[in-house]
């Protein structure tokens, strides 16, 4: 085992308001001696968690752009992505669900609409990241969202001025250095102990999906895109993690669970809610005039998940002239059966077939995982039972 001494020295860069919590003060940002910062603060005062979100989110979108060649965006909350998306056109139902059917979206705006729209409750108060310079159309989208800040490699004419005016001038705007080369080794201190490891520089690309041991082997171009999108997203998601993707975006992210099947269930429930938001009766909910967009979005999710006739839903009933008739279990299950072609990526191998059984309930057809478990044969047999295609990367993607 190598016992290379840690010889890095760091210099003070700037103070932070506080650490993870207000009582964790003082807090500050440092940079390795002789190395430039990977970003510049153009507006606002980023905090400890803001910067953790920003630096993870920037790596995610940069890798998506590098691997898939499409503009990418991410929506981060508490050091995990609530969503990630690519500049892939929206169909009519999804445009209505995201309430952008009348908007002319640029590629970056489209990617962010996908990233933020999949799980709007978790994206509330997010930190956004963009692989490409932010244009005016994207800035106009961000202007109306409840968000803490963003990081991007640049800003087109007029966009920066819009963003600087947000939140009374306190919206955080970071400009990433696209040419920044991170050090090979990372160092982290915890409880008086220093940990050192090589940075996770493994890049998942379409070529990473070459090993397909299931009976079904055909991966469509869309499936390859979505599997790579999901794998890169979970690379920056607190482990254990799995992610479902469809149409060039994440539709369910399960983060930080001790059990992999719990991750699959958690993310799967988000997938179900996302899909049910496109049910015709959900799209046609009769809101009163003047109801705010964020309230409409939240009400649709509450309508899907609960019973508007229950006392705890009293506040939501006021958004309508009369409470809408609830979706029946039969309506929900019938609609969910129409979901298909979904991709799922896991940051580590599946120890049992239970996650595959759960994935099958959410329309999963394609799966990507490292492989290498003693249970691989049972997991592959489960995939064959459902007619799924599974690819192995041989690369574990734990993130802590």
- Is the CA virtual torsion 32, 154, 70, 94 positive or negative? positive
Beta pairing, strands 364-369 & 250-255: unpaired
Does the annotation mark 23 as catalytic?
no
Does the annotation mark 381 as catalytic?
no
Does the annotation mark 43 as catalytic?
no
Nearest alpha carbon to residue 260 among 193, 182, 357: 357
> What dihedral angle (degrees, nearest 10) is formed by the CA atoms of 235, 236, 240, 241?
-80
Catalytic residue among 62, 77, 166, 399: 77
Listed in sequence order, the residues at least 6 apart from 216 whose beta carbon sits closer than 8 Å to its beta carbon are: 383, 384, 387, 388, 389
Catalytic residue among 23, 218, 288, 400: 400
Can you name the residues that pair with 327 across neighbouring β-strands?
A: none
Catalytic residue among 8, 78, 332, 361: 78
Cα separation of the two ends of the chain: 23
What are the φ and ψ backbone dihedral angles of 10, each rounded to 5 degrees?
Answer: -125, 150
Does the annotation mark 200 as catalytic?
no
Catalytic residue among 56, 62, 240, 399: 240
Nearest alpha carbon to residue 392 among 377, 375, 376, 371: 371
Beta pairing, strands 364-369 & 342-346: parallel
Catalytic residues: 77-78, 240, 400
């Amino acid at each position: 085992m190598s016992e290379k001494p840690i010889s890095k020295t760091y210099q003070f860069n700037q103070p932070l308001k506080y650490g993870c919590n207000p009582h964790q003060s003082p807090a500050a940002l440092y940079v390795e001696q002789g190395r430039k910062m990977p970003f510049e603060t153009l507006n606002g005062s980023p905090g400890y968690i803001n910067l953790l979100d920003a630096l993870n989110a920037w790596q995610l979108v940069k890798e998506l752009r590098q691997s898939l060649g499409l503009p990418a965006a991410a929506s981060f909350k508490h050091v995990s992505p609530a969503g990630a998306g690519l500049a892939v056109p929206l169909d009519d139902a999804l445009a209505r669900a995201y309430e952008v059917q009348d908007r002319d979206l640029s590629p970056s705006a489209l990617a962010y609409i996908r990233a933020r729209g999949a799980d709007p409750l978790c994206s509330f108060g997010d930190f956004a990241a963009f692989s490409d310079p932010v244009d005016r159309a994207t800035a106009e989208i961000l202007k109306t969202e409840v968000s803490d800040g963003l990081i991007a490699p640049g800003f087109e004419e007029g966009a920066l001025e819009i963003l600087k005016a947000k939140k009374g001038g306190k919206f955080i705007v970071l400009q990433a250095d696209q040419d920044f080369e991170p050090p090979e080794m990372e160092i982290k201190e915890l409880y008086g102990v220093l940990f050192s490891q090589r940075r996770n520089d493994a890049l998942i690309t379409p070529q990473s999906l070459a090993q397909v041991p299931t009976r079904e082997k055909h991966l469509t171009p869309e499936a390859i895109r979505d599997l790579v999108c999901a794998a890169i997203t979970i690379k920056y998601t607190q482990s254990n993690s799995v992610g479902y993707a469809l149409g060039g975006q994440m539709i369910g992210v399960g983060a930080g669970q001790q059990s992999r099947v719990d991750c699959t269930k958690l993310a799967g429930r988000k997938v179900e809610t996302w899909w049910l938001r496109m049910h015709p009766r959900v799209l046609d909910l009769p809101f009163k005039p003047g109801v705010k967009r964020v309230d409409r979005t939240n009400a649709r999710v509450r309508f899907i998940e609960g019973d508007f006739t229950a006392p705890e839903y009293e506040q939501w009933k006021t958004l309508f002239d009369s409470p809408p008739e609830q979706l029946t279990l039969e309506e929900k299950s019938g609609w969910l059966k129409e979901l298909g072609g979904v991709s799922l990526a896991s940051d580590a191998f599946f120890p049992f077939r239970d996650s595959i059984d759960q994935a099958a309930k959410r329309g999963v057809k394609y799966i990507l995982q490292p492989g290498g478990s003693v249970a691989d044969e049972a997991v592959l047999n489960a995939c064959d039972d459902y007619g799924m295609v599974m690819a192995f990367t041989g690369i574990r993607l734990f993130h802590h």
